[in-house]
Structure 1
Amino acid sequence: MKNRQKIKDLTHLGAYHNWVEESFPDEMAAGIRNRHLWRIDTLHGKQYLLVLSDSQPNPQKLVTYGVEGTVQIKSYDRFLASLVQGQTMRFRLTANPTYAVMQPGSDRGKVYPHVTVQQQRQWLVNKSAKAGFKVLGQANSDGTDNFTFDVVSRERVPLHRKSGRGIRLSQVTFEGQLKIDDLELFKQALTQGIGREKAFGMGLMTVIPEG
């Protein structure tokens, strides 16, 4: 995404969301709103858009704000089929760590972001149990954690809604090691995402087998 003229509109998460959604024109024409997980990664000074979806995107739409000839589309099924119980992997996850506080007279909680690194790391530990994996490491005798994963970036990124009201979402990227504890739950986490704000670039976890 080097062309500054082409990316001038990509100033907030909503613009990226629209780019991803418009890359599935057949779904839009049919009024289908499938969830598409996506994430922006930076590697060696270049930015890459990763998209995970049930159906194949339109390559020309997907390259709208990108570089011609760089779109690669691959099936995820073979990789998912290769995963095994107990396997250890390196992972990267960009997520929106939050918690809810129940409000008087309501059956719904008000959502707040976790703000400290310790809170954000504990959020991932808690989520991992329901997502079929364990982050590797152990607790220290003083009660602090010694998990082998890091918070590699923390940002408050802008999101402009159609109503015109702008907000900022907490975006945290984790990297580290994990072990598959429940294979089916783990596959579900990979394909459906982890946490909130999946439509806005959160929740997509990528993994690389070790050994």
Structure 2
Amino acid sequence: MYLSRVKINDQNRRLLKDLNHAGAYHNWVEHCFPEEIEQQKRLRHLWRIDYLSGERYLLVLSENKPDLRQMEKYGVPGTAMTKDYSKFLDNLTTGMPYQFRFTGNPVHRVAPADGGRSKTYPHVTVAQQMEWLSDRSELNGFKLHEFNVVNRQKVMLRHHNSRPVKLSCVSFEGMLEITDLNKFKAALINGIGREKSYGMGLLTVIPYRG
């Protein structure tokens, strides 16, 4: 596994015109793996947009190394980098505290009274969104300690020949403790929740140094 990032070139308005919805970012990520495209492989690449010191970064988790030149298509030249994530995964320890960052799509399904097909609706309050993540912690091998919602937004998604939709995108930060190492590693690699192709589901952690 590889974790890669690049600073998004927010100063180039011409380039930013292409990145006008979540599907465009998804397309950018997919084209960072030209060999997979040539071989017609459809591997999952988790990604999200991070905000660090006022700058935006594209963060990508993938099974194969990305093409850093393709990562810099909409990025600042010279800022793309990648590292072997497998070594980090191997050093994770049950019971140790970690700082985490996670961006997800907190939703719930509601079945109509007439017994028809259930529909998916976003959670709209901070309390609902935090409860949504709490409800998924044990299933994914971790226990939450202190955590907060640090960003909430609606991201546009456009599909061909269909009306655009808005996806609820919520970012969380805080502290967690690993309770089941296998489940936790699976959550890191496979993501949590829906809309993983569109910038959600990626959980990352760093050891707590307090």
Question: Above 0.5 in TM-score?
Answer: yes
Deviation sequence 1:21-56 (CA, Å, 0-9, x none): 111111112221111000111111211100000011
Structure 1: stretches of 5+ with no match in the other structure: 137-147
Identity %: 52
Q: Report the residue type matching 1:159 in the other structure.
A: L
Name the CA distance, whole Å, in 1 between partners of 2:65 and 2:160.
27
- Give the length in aligned residue pairs: 198
> Where does residue 63 of structure 2 map in the other structure?
54
1:197 aligns with 2:195: yes
Higher strand proportion, which one? 2
Q: Report the residue type matching 1:169 in the other structure.
A: L
- Deviation at 1:72? 0.4
Q: CA RMSD in A?
A: 1.1
> Where does residue 86 of structure 2 map in the other structure?
77
1:172 aligns with 2:170: yes
Return the match for 2:96 from 87, 111, 124: 87
Query: What is the TM-score normalised by the length of structure 2?
Result: 0.91
Deviation sequence 1:126-170 (CA, Å, 0-9, x none): 01111100101xxxxxxxxxxx11101111111111224100000
Return the match for 2:131 from 122, 132, 144: 122
Name the CA distance, whole Å, in 2 between partners of 1:74 and 1:43.
19
- Deviation at 1:102? 3.3
Return the match for 1:149 from 147, 150, 158: 147
Structure 2: stretches of 5+ with no match in the other structure: 1-8
> Where does residue 3 of structure 2 map in the other structure?
none
Equivalent residues in 2 for 1:22-41, closer than 5 Å: 22-41=31-50
Name the CA distance, whole Å, in 2 between partners of 1:127 and 1:180.
13
Name the CA distance, whole Å, in 2 between partners of 1:78 and 1:163.
43
Q: Report the residue type matching 1:72 in the other structure.
A: M
Name the CA distance, whole Å, in 2 between partners of 1:62 and 1:164.
28
> Where does residue 185 of structure 1 map in the other structure?
183
Runs of 4+ with deviation above 4 angstroms: none
Q: Report the residue type matching 1:151 in the other structure.
A: V
> Where does residue 145 of structure 1 map in the other structure?
none
- Deviation at 1:101? 2.1
